[in-house]
């Protein structure tokens, strides 16, 4: 039997922050994150012959649950592509490898058809899985939560896959890098139980 979830007292509220947004951003920059490109269908291409897809670089990816298999990512409320992700039934989260900095930058800052120079194959729902990505997660767009200046997307993973023998592209402190194993083997992820 699971223990009951504790309920915070109704009178407890968050205090006003004692820092500015620059301080907050710098503190967040200490946390290393993986880099992803999230892809979805676009309703109509911008120009004839253009790709019918939309994609955006995101470092906000995280796991939520194993049963059911849930992941999350978030997108700024001011993002031009927000309506496409918000209204679509599916998206694919592509976890980039360390050799894919050009893909990361193309989907973060690129103009025009970002898929024209990006090799990909189609998922079961017809969405781009970027070639060379370390892992990918094809998700049903299960739920969306507006919090602060972002929308949090929770995806229910329908299919996923990975590639052996690669290193991830990592973003930390305003710079891109990768990771290397420590000389002493760890015991795995810290469980939050």
Contact 152, 72 (CB under 8 A): yes
**How many residues appear in the chain?**
193
Q: To 10 degrees, the CA torsion angle through 52, 56, 57, 63?
A: -100
pLDDT at 16: 84
Distance from the Cα of residue 6 to its chain's centroid? 30
Q: Domain boundaries in the chain?
A: 33-166
* Stretch 53-77: mean pLDDT: 96
* Stretch 37-47: mean pLDDT: 81
- pLDDT reading at 91 higher than 80: yes
- Please give the share of the chain, as a percent, with pLDDT higher than 70: 89
Strand partners, 130: 120
Q: Which of 46-50, 80-84, 96-100 has the highest mean pLDDT?
A: 96-100
- pLDDT reading at 108 higher than 60: yes
pLDDT at 12: 78
- pLDDT reading at 47 higher than 70: no
pLDDT at 180: 81
Contact 104, 176 (CB under 8 A): yes
Bridge-based pairing of strands 175-177 and 36-41 is unpaired
Q: How far apart are CA 122 and CA 136, in angstroms?
A: 12
SS (H, E, C) the chain: CCCCCCCCCCCCCCCCCCCCHHHHHHHHCCCCEECEEEEEECCCCCCCCCCCEEEEEECCCEEEECCCCEEEEEEECCCCCHHHHHHCCEEEEEECECCCHHHHHHHHHCCCCCCCCCCEEECCCCCEEECCCCEEEEEEEEEEEEECCEEEEEEEEEEEEECCCCCECEEECCEEECCCCCCCCCCCCCCCC
Q: How far apart are CA 172 and CA 29, in angstroms?
A: 6
**Which of the listed CATH numbers 2.30.110.10, 3.60.15.10, 3.40.50.620, 3.40.50.150 matches domain 33-166?**
2.30.110.10
Q: Output the pTM of the full model.
A: 0.85
Q: How far apart are CA 179 and CA 182, in angstroms?
A: 9
Q: Count the Cβ atoms, other than its own, within 10 Å of residue 153.
A: 24
- pLDDT reading at 17 higher than 90: no
- pLDDT reading at 190 higher than 80: no
Q: Please give the mean pLDDT across all residues of the chain.
A: 89
Q: Which residue has the higher pLDDT, 153 or 6?
A: 153
Matching residue, tokens 């990918």: 136
- Identify the band that residue 49 occupies on the pLDDT scale cut at 50, 70 and 90: low
- pLDDT reading at 101 higher than 60: yes
pLDDT at 188: 62
- Identify the band that residue 8 occupies on the pLDDT scale cut at 50, 70 and 90: low
């Amino acid at each position: 039997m699971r223990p009951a979830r504790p309920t915070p007292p109704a009178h407890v509220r968050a205090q006003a922050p004692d820092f500015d947004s620059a301080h907050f951003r710098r503190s967040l920059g200490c946390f290393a994150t993986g880099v992803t490109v999230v892809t979805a269908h676009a309703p109509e291409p911008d120009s004839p012959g253009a790709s019918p897809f939309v994609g955006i670089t995101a470092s906000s990816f995280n796991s939520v649950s194993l049963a059911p298999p849930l992941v999350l990512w978030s997108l700024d409320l001011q993002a031009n592509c927000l309506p496409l992700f918000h209204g679509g039934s599916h998206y694919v989260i592509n976890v980039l490898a360390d050799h894919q900095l050009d893909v990361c930058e193309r989907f973060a800052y690129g103009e025009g058809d970002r898929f024209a120079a990006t090799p990909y194959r189609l998922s079961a729902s017809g969405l781009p899985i970027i070639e060379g990505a370390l892992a990918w997660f094809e998700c049903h767009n299960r739920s969306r939560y507006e919090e602060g200046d972002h929308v949090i997307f929770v995806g229910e993973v329908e299919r996923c896959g990975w590639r052996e023998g690669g290193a991830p592209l990592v973003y930390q402190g305003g710079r891109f890098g990768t990771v290397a194993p420590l000389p002493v083997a760890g015991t795995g992820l810290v469980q939050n139980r």
